[in-house]
Amino acid sequence: MKNRPLLLALSLCAGLLATVSAWGFAYLINSNTGLPIKWPRSVYPLRIMLGSGAGGIDFNAAAQAAAQDWNAVLGGVQFQSTTAVGQASERNRVNELVFGADVFGQAFDTNVLAVTTTWRIGNERTEADIVFNSARNWGAYAGPTQSGLVDLQRVALHELGHALGLDHPNEAGQVFDPPLPIMNSRITSNAVLLTDDITGARNLYGPPGTPANDHFANATLLLLTNNAAAVTGFTTNATKQSGEPDHAANSGGRSIWWRWTAPAAGPVSLDTRGSYADTTLGVYTGATLGALTTVASNDDINPGIIQASALTFNATAGTTYHLAVDGFNNADGNGADSAGITLNLGFSPSGPALPIISAQPGNVTVATGGTASFTVVATGATSYQWTFNGGAISGATGPTHTIANAQAAHAGTYFVILTNAAGSLNSDPATLTLNAPVPPPAPPPSSGSRGGGGGAPSLWFYGAVSALCLARLLFRRRG
């Protein structure tokens, strides 16, 4: 696809607009796919060539501090800055920050402080250069804006947001009470990233850390409300496990997992509309990663155009399905696409529903002789039967099973069978582990005396003597 330049500017605007509640983020969008344009690699190199100003102001350091502010809140990309001396060049695949009297030959518009020029191929950013208007009086300071002096760090913070792929939320029709997000199109006294700025960037690059549902064994339980669910997550920093299938026949590499047990038979629709990445989607049955059977999979709703994934399948009552979302890997050396993910499930039951478990019993560890309890939270169950190592436990027929005076013979695996008119459903297994009993506290040291010898007087003795002395004193005063 032919590269296309996009010019964005941070402008000074007078006055504040009326306020409404809205999210404070907007994106630079690939009009062909509807997806945001993102930097594809985990390291975002910056060549900062701003030098110093009057009074020894270090503009390079101010820009580096702005980059570090973004680094602190993002998980999938980090700015990596170096300083240099020189002039910026356009379309050289180097991300450069410079002062300039114009923007690569194009004059600055009135009141414009800085401009970010960006280049892309498809959904991937290939270059972003930031030119600060040299006609302005630049400084570096915290706190409210100062008349006639522009703080470079907060302007750099805004422009680096453009480099990441963020646009002006107010120009997308979103208006806020002060303090205004950094990504609004006018400079204000706010000099820090706000929740709206951070949320917008994390939709593209995720938060720090690895997703909780990165591995198959840690699949997040998916619960329906009115036979539908919409859940979110991040494929940023996710991994592909050894033995994991290629979802939709693509190598991927950053998968996250959910699991859902069908409460009844019926058709299911599943899609990733609302995600910020080019996704792949797979549905499987099987209890372990190495023993999965593919039920359905999909790459694009419309190949190369609508890059969300969508599929349908017919569910069997009581069957647990594992749902995997990965990023498309186009083998360009950047790995699988990743970002914030939305997974939408719609279900049309065609028969009576099995019980629905909303909270599975958890593993329990107690000391020998202690009390252990397992609990399941479910709706629609008419009876419960707890099992121990696969055998039914006599009398254990409620949502909670309690073991008093737990002993070594009680250690093992428990699960509960929930039943109603539609059939039976097993909970997840839970394990009871016994630790050694807690020893009783040591007896206090003896305070008695030996034989007839005089030990140390006790506190009550001192108290009695004090009371007697006080009584004698009062008697003498009254006499």
Q: Is the pLDDT of residue 1 over 70?
A: no
5-16 per-position pLDDT tens digit: 343 433 332 222
DSSP conformational letter for 54 = G
- pLDDT value at 4 more than 90: no
For the chain, the straight-line distance linking the first and the last C-alpha, in angstroms and rounded, comes to 115
pLDDT digits (tens, 9 = 90+) for 338-348: 999 999 999 99
C-alpha 109, offset from chain centre: 39
Least confident among 68-72, 96-100, 113-117, 469-473: 469-473
Based on the domain organization, do 26 and 171 belong to the same domain?
yes
Buried b (16+ CB within 10 A) or exposed e, 432-447: bebeeeeeeeeeeeee
State the CATH number of the domain containing residue 143: 3.40.390.10
Domain hosting residue 89, numbered range: 6-205
C-alpha distances in angstroms, 173 versus 12, 26, 55, 181?
A: 17, 10, 41, 14
Q: Is the pLDDT of residue 309 over 50?
A: yes
How are beta strands 256-261 and 320-327 bridged, if at all? antiparallel
pLDDT in tens, 388-435: 999 999 999 999 999 999 999 999 999 999 999 999 999 999 999 999
Q: CA 131 to CA 116: how far, in whole Å?
A: 6
Please tell me the total count of domains within the chain: 3
Q: Is residue 440, in this structure, part of any structural domain at all?
A: no
312, 347, 382: which is the final residue of a domain?
Answer: 347
pLDDT at 468: 42
What pLDDT score was predicted for residue 175?
82
User: What is the tens place of the pLDDT at every residue in 156-205?
Assistant: 999 999 999 999 999 888 888 899 999 999 989 999 999 999 999 999 99
Q: Which residues fall within 8 angstroms of residue 271, CB to CB, at 6 or more apart?
A: 281, 301, 308, 309, 310, 311, 343, 344
Report pLDDT for 447: 56
CATH number for the domain that contains residue 316: 2.60.120.380
Whether the pLDDT of residue 110 is over 50: the answer is yes
Mean pLDDT over all residues of the chain?
88
Q: Is residue 462 part of a domain?
A: no
For residue 73, pLDDT beyond 90: yes
Q: Does 196 map to a domain?
A: yes
Over residues 45-59, the mean pLDDT reads 95
Question: Which three-class secondary structure state does DSSP give residue 163?
Answer: helix
Among the listed residues 462, 450, 13, 29, the one whose alpha carbon sits nearest the alpha carbon of residue 204: 29
